[in-house]
Structure formats: C-alpha cells, structure tokens
Amino acid sequence: MRFLRLKMGRSMTMPCADNAIKGTESTIKVNSKHAVNGNPTVGPFDPRYHLMIFGLGCFWGAERKFWKKKGVFSTQVGYSGGFTKNPTYEQVCSGGTGHAEVVRVVYDPEVVGLNELLQIFWEAHDPTQGMRQGNDFGTQYRSALYYTREDQKVLAEKSLSVYQELILKRITTEIKEAGPFYYAEDYHQQYLHKVPGGYCGLKGTGVSCPKVEL
C-alpha cells in the first residue's frame, strides 16, 4: 500500500518546551526485524556497535541511503530533537513537537567509519536550507546530527567545518547530543523497500565531501 506524505500546514518556527504539543506514555510499536536485512531494529544492541542519528529531510529516502552501506547493522526512522514524548507522524508534521525526521544508524565501527557515514549525510541533501529540503518544508525537515559519543561530536563538527569550505552558502545543520529517539510508525520503517517507487525528495548540492579523520 502506498502512503502519501501529509500536506499539512508546515511551521518554519521551532516551538519551545512550554508551547509544544503535550506527549503521551503510549509508545509506537514497530517490527523487531529490519525489513531489508533481518537484523534487530529494537535495542539494546550489541555494545560493539555505535549509534548515530542523522536528520537530512524526508526519512524515507534518507534511511535507504544508510541501509545500503556495508557495516551498517540496522537502521530505524523516527523523531528526535524536539519536546513531545512519543509523538505521532501527524503531530510532528504539524510543527508542534519540535522534532526532526531522523534515521538512527547502528553501525560496526570496525567495518565502516563514521567519516564514511558523514560523507553520505553531507552529499545526500542540501544542509544550507534551514527548515526545509527542496519542496518539503517545515521544522521536521531540518538538517541535524545527533551524536551519542564524544568522538562522534568531534568528527561531526570537523566534517561540517571542512564541508563548509567547499560550498558557498552557510550550513545550517545543528549538531548536538542525542536526546530521546522515538520510533516512527511501522509503515514508515524501511518504507522504500516496501514501496520501491515511493516518494524520495532527497537532492544533494553536487559537492563531494572528503573523508575527515580525528
């Protein structure tokens, strides 16, 4: 079944904690196995794996970019960076939660380096567009990197600095420590595997990103 992107009124202004939509204790349940590779999508994950959260616009196409990469154990789409506990897709699309659409990537650092994942991130979208990606506009489409380890923060900041030197417009990507990750509804998970001809609005700048090292 095809699911259409919601065409709702999009907010270009982030809410604050006081006026964000109130959350709920009801969590969204997802399939415990990845639809593409069969690996677990629900933690806890083996401690040898690292987790990083990427926001680069519509999470349907973004997730596919990462699950194809060798060394990526699992991917999940969801909502992060906002205020509402256990938000729904409709709530996030309203702009009232403060969350970005994101992909949580569980990867084996012995096989794939974060610098390679950052290359995918920078090259797959336009990180200079603020609260939008192409025709997708609203706070949920902002560019974001949410780290779970200090070395990820250092490398993410370094890669931003390097990439900024290569493109003319100012990068608006937010980089901050990861807060709660809330799963998106199950039909969003690995969506473009389930619906191969589904919507993907990702477009990069055409500028390659070099690998950076700590």
Q: pLDDT digit string (tens) for 24-81?
A: 999 999 999 999 999 999 999 999 999 999 999 999 999 999 999 999 999 999 999 9
Say how far apart CA 146 and CA 168 lie, in whole Å: 24
Catalytic residue among 16, 58, 93, 209, which? 58
Residue 37: burial class (beta carbons within 10 Å; 0-12, 13-18, 19+): middle
Q: How far from 116 is each of 20, 24, 138, CA to CA, in Å? A: 35, 37, 28
Averaged pLDDT score across all residues of the chain: 94
CATH, domain 50-194, list 3.40.50.10860, 3.60.110.10, 3.30.930.10, 3.30.1060.10: 3.30.1060.10
Provide the token pair at 1: 């079944």
In the chain, the percentage of residues whose pLDDT exceeds 90 is 92
Q: Is the pTM of this model over 0.85?
A: yes
Of 130, 214, 115, 209, nearest to 166 by C-alpha is 209
So what's the pLDDT on residue 1? 34
58 is catalytic: yes
Residue range 123-145: mean pLDDT, rounded: 96
Query: Whole-angstrom Cα distance, residue 78 to residue 84?
Result: 13
